[in-house]
Amino acid sequence: MKRSILAIALLFIISAIGCQNSDGQTNAKRLSKPAAEWKKVLSPNAYHIMVESGTEPPYHNEYYDNHQKGVYVSAATGEVLFSSDDKYDSGTGWPSFVKPVDMKKIKIVTDNSFGETRDEVIERSTGLHLGHVFDDGPADRGGKRYCMNSGALKFIKK
C-alpha cells in the first residue's frame, strides 16, 4: 500500500515538473492575457494549439503541402513569423521552415511534456504555442527544422 501511494505521489511530481517551461512557469502563467480572453478571439483549433499547446495531426492540416509564395503570420496577432522562402518539405506532415523571419518574434523554451525534452517555439509577444524546433533540418540551410502547427498560423499570399 505504501509503495502504491509513493508511486502515485512520484508520478504527480513528475507530471507537475513536465508541464513547466524552462522558466518554471506553466503555459497559463506565461500567456500575455488569460486563456478565457484568447478563447474569445481564436478559432477552437487555434485555441487548442496555441493556448493548450495541442498538436494537429500530420498531413491533415492546412499548410503542410502549401507551395504558394507568401508569408505565415500568427493566428493570434497577425505578426509575420515565417516566409514561404524558408519553407521546405520535411516529410513530417507539418509545415516546416529553416528559420523564422525574425528571431525576436519567437522564443524557444524547454518542453518536457510526454516524457521527452523538446524545444518549444512560442510567440514572444503572447507566450502562445506555435510548434517545436529540431536539429534535423537541411544542413546547407542551417540545420534547423521549425515544425509549426498550421492552426497557429494564417497564410497571406504574395
Please identify every residue annotated as catalytic: 147
3-state helix, strand, coil in the chain (%, to 5): 30, 25, 45
CA distance 127 to 149: 15
Between CA 69 and CA 102 the distance in angstroms is: 18
Cα 96 from Cα 77, distance rounded (Å)? 20
